[in-house]
Amino acid sequence: MSQNFAIAHLTRLALRQRLLVLVLTFGLIGAGVWAYLGLPIDAFPDVSSTQVKIILKVPGLTPQEVEQRVTLLVEQEMLGIPNKTLLRSLSHYALSDVTIDFEEGTDIYWARQQVNERLSVVLSSLPPTAEGGLAPITTPLGEMYMFTIDGPQTLAERRTQLDWVIRPALRAIPGVADVNALGGVVRTFNVAPNFSALAASQITVEKLIEAIQNNNQNDGAGRVARQGESILVRTEGRIKTLEDLRNIVVGRSGDQLLRVHQLADISIEGLTRYGAVTENGQGETVEGLVLGLRGANARHVGGQGGGHGQQSFAGSHGFGADHPLPVSGQCSFCAGGCHYFAFVGAGHVFVHALGAFVGQPDVSGRAGHCHRHVGGCVRGGG
């Protein structure tokens, strides 16, 4: 009886206050639309706890040596951190990976500060070749999308485009923690000592390394005051070309100066590779993996990426005939719903929330479409 009376009373109130009911109804509809538009959409909901990773590279050390000389020291320093729930590590060849999990609700920036303070204490006890630090603020499920760079260029040229053109542009998008570059060849100056020449000149490898390091920097020499003006005096010693590296003076043999090219073989080669990326079993390629910031909405990040995709980098990176100019445009299939970076004559990369597409554009760099409704990373022609 009381339930029927409440329903009847509520019905009479709704009929008498029609305007109030309409306002509340439209308010409820608006709140639902707002909640729908802001709803995070991810393939796998991120339920991971607050986590901080430490990644250190130690070239040349075996897993046992990495465990004894790096991982164990870092783990001991991390003991006693407040709100810590789990501490685990992995020691690979030349790589140490330490993971610290914190209690649910712990602020990620506070946790990283605690870990960073303790890491700075132990760094002085690690081998001199150890390098690295805290991993980006992402989670194990933070991989938003991946793409590959295809085209007639060499692996070294495609890796250069990814490192210096595409990666900086993607990292500027709000919500992107980092962009991992995988595969290809990273170009570097290679110095191979000639031990016979070193022995004949009585010069050690350490002295050769020291000479190269000391001659690869710019220094200031103060100011010169002249007629009321102050002129800055500085010397530029940074190595820019192979010729600069070849002509560095290492020592003296009698009255003759000994330069690097007399004591070592100089060339442009790639850094030591520990793996490779293949695509569809058709050979090696270069891949980019976009990591989302912890708590970022993948749909919002993808929408913001479209705006950034309209940036044009043509003419700003010194690309010549052997390095096609990067341009930007809109996907014809999505009618402007996504944007891409196109390398004229080399291949283009469509970037959007669902994935990426790599293909071969025509000379205008606008052919083809991204198949965004398929998702993932698909290939196709222009």
Cα distances (Å, whole numbers) of residue 326 to 256, 320, 342: 48, 11, 6
Give the list of residues 6+ apart from residue 24 with CB closer than 8 angstroms, or none.
Answer: none
Closest CA to 44 of 138, 137, 144, 136: 144
Cα distances (Å, whole numbers) of residue 297 to 133, 172, 175, 301: 26, 16, 8, 6
The one-digit pLDDT tens for each residue of the chain (382 residues) are: 567 778 888 888 888 888 998 999 999 999 999 988 877 766 667 778 899 999 999 988 999 999 999 999 999 999 989 999 999 999 999 999 999 999 988 999 999 999 999 999 999 999 999 999 999 998 878 888 889 998 889 999 999 999 999 999 999 898 899 999 999 999 899 999 999 999 999 999 999 999 999 888 888 878 888 888 888 888 888 898 999 999 999 998 888 899 999 999 999 888 888 789 998 888 899 999 999 888 887 777 766 654 443 333 332 333 333 333 333 333 333 333 333 333 333 333 333 333 333 333 333 333 333 333 233 333 333 2
pTM tops 0.85, yes or no: no
Identity of the amino acid at 117: E
Tokens 């439209």: give the residue.
26
How far is residue 45's CA from residue 141's CA, in Å, rounded to a whole number?
8
The pLDDT of residue 179: 93
Q: Which uninterrupted H or E stretch holds 8? A: helix 2-16
End-to-end CA distance of the chain: 72
Q: Which uninterrupted H or E stretch holds 224? A: strand 219-226
Give the list of residues 6+ apart from residue 69 with CB closer than 8 angstroms, or none.
Answer: 58, 61, 126, 127
How far is residue 262's CA from residue 252's CA, in Å, rounded to a whole number?
12
**Residue 274: strand, helix, or coil:** coil
